[in-house]
Amino acid sequence: MSVRVVLFTRDLRVDDNPALAAAAASGDPVVPLFVLDRRLLASSFAAPNRLAHLAEALADLHAALVELGAGLLVRHGEVAGEVARVVQETGATHVHLARDVSPYAVARRASLRTALPADVTGHAHVGITVQPPGTPAPATPGATAYRVFTPYWRAWRALPLRPLHAAPALLAADGVALDGPGPAHLALLDRAGTAPLRSRGGLVAAERRLSDWLDGPVDDYVTGHDDLATDRTSRLSPDLHLGTLSPARVAELVGEATPGREAFLRQLCWRDHWHQLLSATPSLATQDLRPQGDDWRDAPDDLAAWQQGRTGVPLVDAGMRQLLAEGWMHNRARLTTASFLTKHLRIDWRVGAAWFEQHLLDGDVANNRANWQWVTGTGTAGHPNRMLNPYRQSRRFDAGPYVRRWVPELADLDDVAVHEPYGDGRLVDVDYPPPVVEHADARARFLADRGAE
Ligand X SMILES: Cc1cc2nc3c(=O)[nH]c(=O)nc-3n(C[C@H](O)[C@H](O)[C@H](O)COP(=O)(O)OP(=O)(O)OC[C@H]3O[C@@H](n4cnc5c(N)ncnc54)[C@H](O)[C@@H]3O)c2cc1C
Applying CB under 6 A, the residues found at the interface with ligand X are: 225, 233-237, 240-241, 264, 267-268, 270-271, 274, 331, 334-335, 338, 356, 360, 362-364, 367-368, 371-372, 375
* Residue 356 vs 397, nearer CB to ligand X: 356
3-class secondary structure per residue, 175-207: CCCCCCCCHHHHHHHCCCCCCCCCCCCCHHHHH
Instruction: For residue 214, count CB atoms less than 10 angstroms from its CB and return exposed for 0-12, middle for 13-18, buried for 19 or more.
Output: middle
Nearest distance, CB of residue 428 and ligand X, angstroms: 29
Rounded to whole angstroms, the Cα distance separating 251 from 268 reads 7
Rounded to whole angstroms, the Cα distance separating 302 from 398 reads 25
* Residue 363 vs 400, nearer CB to ligand X: 363
Nearest distance, CB of residue 70 and ligand X, angstroms: 30
Nearest distance, CB of residue 388 and ligand X, angstroms: 10
DSSP codes of every residue in 77-146:
E-HHHHHHHHHHHHTEEEEEEE---SHHHHHHHHHHHHHS-TTSEEEEE--SSSS-TTSSPPSSTT-SS-
* Residue 206 vs 335, nearer CB to ligand X: 335
* Residue 62 vs 261, nearer CB to ligand X: 261
* Residue 149 vs 176, nearer CB to ligand X: 149
Q: Is 34 helix (H, G, I), strand (E, B) or coil?
A: strand
Distances in whole angstroms, Cα of residue 30 to Cα of each of 60, 160, 178, 295, 312: 18, 30, 11, 53, 56
Nearest distance, CB of residue 221 and ligand X, angstroms: 7
Rounded to whole angstroms, the Cα distance separating 149 from 338 reads 20
Nearest distance, CB of residue 269 and ligand X, angstroms: 8
Nearest distance, CB of residue 106 and ligand X, angstroms: 19
* Residue 93 vs 292, nearer CB to ligand X: 292
